[in-house]
A = this chain, B = another copy of it.
């Protein structure tokens, strides 16, 4: 039985080659680097990962490469969202087969205006089809992209039907009230992760177990500081620091901005590539972003940590 996830999880950016293909080599190196930075888990194939701009086959091939390269499966929470029960259950079987610590599961996201019962039936059918006691499913609530929500009542029904399988939720609603409502339910053995570090401290104070956040790709040490020190007097200052970094980055389109930061600080310009429908930052946006980050004294990962110690 894998241990439940907690702490700072990163929805890992996916590098693409100049020809637009997933770049497995860079991906493996980057995952290693994130773990070395202190990430507790890697939520590969999330929204930030442009996973929904990759085919199921491309995702499975990248996961195979990570495992083959020795990244511990227990630290991986691949996104397995898909519009069909067929594809979602195939992705999950593959992840469970590799021993992944969990999977992050979107609701079916093409058809809008579906009922909670319809979404429940979809998730139930997927779990029944996978039929593995090793499956730990984290629900992925992200209505800005899916429109279809995992509301509190629906979550409660799924936990009740699949106790041991439904293990937690990532709340990317951007709405603290929703996270608070979920935490107030105190579902047993159920880990709630805000989908942004902006809500990390508030989450921890109300029973959350960490966060799964895009900016983890460029700020694991800062975010860990809040996670490790949340009960100390410095917690609010640490939180203010990481909130400032997040707010600075999200003035720009988030995924292209994060890739531009990685390209800059890892001295690897190819990292800036995205897959359509996303667009890379313009030169003017890139210059402005890097200037904004310099203004707030941001520098990447190890460098800042060394400076602080």
Q: A residues engaging B (CB < 8 A)?
A: 20, 47, 52-58, 82-87, 90, 107-112, 114-115, 117-119, 121-122, 125, 144-145, 147-148, 275-279
What is the CA–CA distance of A67 and B56 in the complex, to the nearest angstrom?
26
Chain B residues within 8 Å of A125, by CB: 20, 276
Q: Is B147 a contact of A52 with CB atoms below 8 Å?
A: no
Other A-B contacts than A52-B108, A115-B277, A118-B277, 19 sampled, CB-CB below 8 A, are A20-B85, A52-B111, A53-B83, A53-B84, A53-B110, A55-B82, A55-B84, A85-B275, A109-B110, A111-B145, A111-B277, A111-B278, A112-B144, A112-B145, A118-B278, A119-B277, A121-B279, A125-B276, A147-B147
Q: Is B55 a contact of A277 with CB atoms below 8 Å?
A: no
Chain B residues within 8 Å of A57, by CB: 86
Q: Is A122 a contact of B277 with CB atoms below 8 Å?
A: yes
Q: Of the candidates B53, B55, B115, which one forms a contact with A108 in the assembled complex, judged by CB atoms under 8 Å apart?
A: B53
Q: Is A52 a contact of B276 with CB atoms below 8 Å?
A: no
Known contacts A53-B84, A53-B85, A83-B53: A108-B58 contact under CB 8 Å: no
Q: Is A110 a contact of B147 with CB atoms below 8 Å?
A: no
Q: Of the candidates B52, B90, B114, which one forms a contact with A55 in the assembled complex, judged by CB atoms under 8 Å apart?
A: B90
Q: Of the candidates B86, B109, B112, B117, which one forms a contact with A279 in the assembled complex, judged by CB atoms under 8 Å apart?
A: B117
| CB-CB nearest in chain B for A90 | B55
Q: Of the candidates B47, B114, B277, which one forms a contact with A121 in the assembled complex, judged by CB atoms under 8 Å apart?
A: B277
Q: Is B107 a contact of A277 with CB atoms below 8 Å?
A: yes
What is the CA–CA distance of A109 and B138 in the complex, to the nearest angstrom?
23
Q: Of the candidates B110, B117, B279, which one forms a contact with A52 in the assembled complex, judged by CB atoms under 8 Å apart?
A: B110
**26 A-B contact pairs sorted by A residue (CB < 8 Å):** A20-B85, A20-B125, A52-B83, A52-B84, A52-B111, A53-B111, A54-B84, A55-B56, A55-B82, A55-B86, A58-B86, A85-B276, A107-B277, A108-B277, A109-B110, A112-B144, A114-B278, A117-B279, A118-B276, A118-B277, A118-B279, A121-B276, A122-B276, A125-B276, A147-B147, A148-B277
| CB-CB nearest in chain B for A86 | B55
Q: Is A115 a contact of B53 with CB atoms below 8 Å?
A: no
What is the CA–CA distance of A145 and B109 in the complex, to the nearest angstrom?
9
| CB-CB nearest in chain B for A54 | B84
Q: Of the candidates B90, B112, B121, B145, which one forms a contact with A110 in the assembled complex, judged by CB atoms under 8 Å apart?
A: B145
What is the CA–CA distance of A55 and B117 in the complex, to the nearest angstrom?
22
| CB-CB nearest in chain B for A278 | B118
What is the CA–CA distance of A181 and B169 in the complex, to the nearest angstrom?
44
What is the CA–CA distance of A83 and B84 in the complex, to the nearest angstrom?
13
Chain B residues within 8 Å of A82, by CB: 55
What is the CA–CA distance of A148 and B271 in the complex, to the nearest angstrom?
26
Chain B residues within 8 Å of A87, by CB: 55-56
